[in-house]
Amino acid sequence: MKSFFTLAIFLFSYIFSASGQSNVLPSFGIIPAPELVNMQPTKGPSLNRIRVFLPLEVRNPFLESLIQTTPGIEISASLDQSDVDWKRDNKLSSEAYLIKVTKKKILIKAGSSAGFQHAVISLIQMLTHHGLPLPQGIIEDRPTFAYRGMHLDVGRYFFSVEDVKKYLDYMAYYKYNHFHWHLTEDQGWRIEIKKYPRLQEVAAWRKETLVGHYNDQPQTFDGKKYGGYYSQEEVREIVRYAAERNITVVPEIEMPGHALAAIAAYPELGCGSGPYEVGTKWGIYDDVFCPNETTFAFLEDVIDEIVPLFPGKYIHIGGDECPKTAWKNSPFCQELMKKEGLKDEHALQSYFITRMEKYINAKGKQIIGWDEILEGGLAPNATVMSWRGIEGGVAAANENHEVIMTPTSFCYFDYYQSESPDEPLAIGGYLPMDQVYHWNPVPESLPVDKQKYIIGGQANVWTEYIPDYSKIEYMVYARAMAMSEVLWSKKKDYASFLPRFVSHQQLWKAKGANVANHIYDLKPVIKAGDGKPVRISFSVPQGASIAHSINGREDKALASGEEVRIEHSGNHIFTTMHSKGSGRPLELLFDLHYGTGADISINPGPSPKYSGNGPGSIINGVKGTIEKYGGTEWLGFEGTDPVITLDFKKDLNFNYIETLFFKAEGQWIYLPREIEVSMSDDGVNYKRIAGIKNIGTHDKIADVRFTPHQAHGRYMRFTIKNYGVIPEGKQGAGHRAWLFMDEIIIY
Ligand code: ACM
């Protein structure tokens, strides 16, 4: 093991010195960056080998093994021989620590075992990424947020005890302190409950699994039985292992939705008559727990077995994505709603959650629920996990409830991290590392006195498209470094983070981990829609330039931030060139049409989450790709009916109009109900020239074309009607559908 680390350090110092840069990394290589680093590289005499004696309250196999595998530090048998002095300082806040390095000694102060652990890890990271001699001076550090979580869905795919331990090791290395273990799903129940053996025999197994993406048509399956579960003994082992790393495990037992596996094992838990089978594809199922006494007795029994396994204060009860179809169709539910004075099925969900909360509170635990638990009234002591955006979190904090922020657009590590077509299959979306890094978990709209209710944030790792641990490494390890700094560090600076990231990435690679490398992938900023020619620019890490070819012919290279006009239609290829590595080529097929020089306005505008490079993204000459609705091309409208106006600045004649719409109903993205195109000479009086209702397609993209005869005018207007409310039984039922569109092409 030691040789891997040595190799990593060698590689890294080579790369840095080869590029003529300093060997000293910002924050001496520590991720997340400490609050205060007042240290200077050592010049004079210094420790050239660190011997460390771990006192009892600091000693555990995790830190011992980290020390044993780090060059330059070793365990000593007694305090007399230790170069490290330990001091407990109860004035330091929970998890805070101080490291003071002098010529001869290292002093570590902390007020808790977590604080000591964080200090040792910072020291280890300095040794790994900076090396001996250690710099001299002081580090003072403490976390910004008390809750720093990473989630893992083991329902869609099952991850072994060894995998989970690797995850926990990674978490501890980056100072995360809560492991949200998503244990039950439609596609598998993964925790042994002794009173209900059919959970192990039936609910833990599915007969087969969907192949490819949920949105692929027709859907196909692999025909292979799949499953697994953790015995209670294994759960205790994981909880112990986590505790040794100062990580609290938050178990999630989903209710009332995402419960098909349990219902397949015990059909009396459903509202219908069955038969039920464990889910074989992703998404949302209509069969959910029925709020009858059998279900409550079952769930209370489950909680009775869960509580002694998990010493932490939280039990997560899910609460998300619970379709109300089964409850609407159930005479029992309708009768119950009358009896309890519940005005609708949302109130019934609130009744369900509140009743379970009371039971769980009586056991001395607190519930966490996804933000849907706000609908129909928030259970009195619940902590809310805000995932569909920040609105749920803001509402809950305004009601003085604690909130953990996990909005999809910053926290969903199952999303794509690059626009490259070479990316392995993912659920969709687009969440590059720099977007994670620039997130602030405290919403600006929250009044100052309510901000304290945001106790932290969390990276969510849903595994529909993550069947093994290597892909976890790929999807998670890079972005979770960025997230650790969001949740821990007071001062963030992406330019300071990047070289530390590269150093850590080399380390993980040397250990064999499949860490993604997207920092040299290009993210284009294409400007259009302002009446000027289309321009493109990129920012790339310092020292890099961008090669450019057009239809196979080499063109002038670009500097970082330099804007160039796109003057020719055709295949443009851009590649980062850097001494530390080049990125994957970015291929953009530009089709310059009448629209690419127009002025554009869109009312109401796209959601800030999916606003591309501004409204001009839909007339920039580049079509959105078929797999990803995130990224810089597609504009996404959350439930609104956009009116798009183009001003060509002069009267033009057209005979061809094409618009593209993305369809991914699994991700709540629907085709529009209606599109109308009209023209005007004065920008006031518009005349309809084309239109369509009921667009249908079996593909992921609907390509809508009009061929108006001899149309002309200076202004063109598209009036687009969103699909409306998503029907029951579909993903996102009850919400207004998203509308995604990209290029409007005009000839
Ligand atoms: C969720 O992503 N359904 C919480």
The pLDDT assigned to 432 comes to 93
pLDDT cut 70: percent of the chain above it: 96
Note whether residue 319 is domain-resident.
yes
DSSP 77: S
On whether both 229 and 340 belong to a single domain, the answer is yes
Measured CA to CA, the distance from residue 541 to residue 539 in angstroms comes to 7
Range of the domain at 729: 594-746
pLDDT cut 90: percent of the chain above it: 83
Task: Please name the residue that has the structure tokens 């900076």.
Answer: 130
Cβ–ligand 1 contact at 414 (below 6 Å)? no
Find the range with the poorest average confidence among 4-18, 171-185, 220-234, 552-566: 4-18
Question: Using CA of residue 208, residue 213, residue 215, residue 216, what is the dihedral sign?
Answer: negative
Q: Is the pLDDT of residue 571 over 60?
A: yes
Q: How far is CA 665 from CA 98, 552, 698, in A?
A: 51, 38, 11
List Cβ neighbours of 137 (8 Å cut-off, separation of 6 or more).
37, 38, 39, 40, 100, 101
CATH assignment of the domain containing 123 = 3.30.379.10
Note whether residue 25 is domain-resident.
no
Per-residue pLDDT band at 541 (split at 50, 70, 90): confident
Q: Is the pLDDT of residue 666 over 60?
A: yes
Average confidence (pLDDT) over 238-251: 98
Measured CA to CA, the distance from residue 183 to residue 240 in angstroms comes to 17
Q: 189: helix, coil or strand?
A: strand
Name the residue with the closest Cα to ligand 1, atom 3: 320
On whether both 152 and 117 belong to a single domain, the answer is no
Phi/psi of residue 29, each to 5°?
85, 5
State the distance from the centre of ligand 1 to the C-alpha of 371, rounded, in angstroms: 9
Report the atom number in ligand 1 closest to the C-alpha of 321: 3
On whether both 541 and 418 belong to a single domain, the answer is no
Q: Is the pLDDT of residue 277 over 60?
A: yes
Cβ–ligand 1 contact at 370 (below 6 Å)? yes
Give yes or no for a contact between 72 and 130, defined as CB atoms under 8 angstroms apart.
Answer: no
Segment (H or E) for 51: strand 50-52
The pLDDT assigned to 23 comes to 64
**Amino acid (1-letter code) at residue 415:** Y
Give yes or no for a contact between 38 and 138, defined as CB atoms under 8 angstroms apart.
Answer: yes
CATH assignment of the domain containing 707 = 2.60.120.260
CATH assignment of the domain containing 549 = 2.60.40
Provide Rg for the chain, Cα atoms: 28
Note whether residue 10 is domain-resident.
no
Choose the residue to mutate in 373, 411, 462, 735 for probing ligand 1, maximizing ligand atoms within 8 Å of C-beta.
462
On whether both 81 and 206 belong to a single domain, the answer is no
On whether both 603 and 577 belong to a single domain, the answer is no
pLDDT in tens, 613-654: 999 999 999 998 876 677 789 999 999 999 999 999 999 998
pLDDT in tens, 186-228: 999 999 999 999 999 999 999 999 999 998 889 999 999 999 9
The pLDDT assigned to 312 comes to 98
Q: 3-state DSSP helix/strand/coil percent for the chain, to nearest 5?
A: 30, 25, 45
The pLDDT assigned to 629 comes to 72
Cβ–ligand 1 contact at 408 (below 6 Å)? no
Per-residue pLDDT band at 20 (split at 50, 70, 90): very low
Per-residue pLDDT band at 581 (split at 50, 70, 90): low
On whether both 330 and 269 belong to a single domain, the answer is yes
Per-residue pLDDT band at 107 (split at 50, 70, 90): very high
On whether both 283 and 346 belong to a single domain, the answer is yes
Note whether residue 24 is domain-resident.
no
Note whether residue 4 is domain-resident.
no
List Cβ neighbours of 696 (8 Å cut-off, separation of 6 or more).
671, 702
Q: Which of 457, 477, 497 is the last residue of a domain?
A: 497
Per-residue pLDDT band at 335 (split at 50, 70, 90): very high
pLDDT in tens, 376-393: 889 899 999 999 999 999
On whether both 109 and 240 belong to a single domain, the answer is no
Polymer length of the chain: 747
On whether both 152 and 125 belong to a single domain, the answer is no
Q: 161: helix, coil or strand?
A: helix
Name the residue with the closest Cα to ligand 1, atom 2: 387
User: Closest Cα partner for 199 from 214, 210, 184, 209?
Assistant: 184
The pLDDT assigned to 482 comes to 98
Note whether residue 12 is domain-resident.
no
Report the atom number in ligand 1 closest to the C-alpha of 412: 2
Segment (H or E) for 391: helix 391-398
Report the atom number in ligand 1 closest to the C-alpha of 408: 2
On whether both 532 and 463 belong to a single domain, the answer is no
Measured CA to CA, the distance from residue 215 to residue 223 in angstroms comes to 19
Cβ–ligand 1 contact at 437 (below 6 Å)? no
The pLDDT assigned to 580 comes to 63
Note whether residue 509 is domain-resident.
no
Note whether residue 502 is domain-resident.
no
On whether both 417 and 563 belong to a single domain, the answer is no
Q: Is the pLDDT of residue 679 over 70?
A: yes
Structurally, the chain folds into a number of domains equal to 4
Q: 602: helix, coil or strand?
A: strand
List Cβ neighbours of 556 (8 Å cut-off, separation of 6 or more).
548, 564
Question: Model's pTM, two decimal places?
Answer: 0.89
On whether both 548 and 416 belong to a single domain, the answer is no
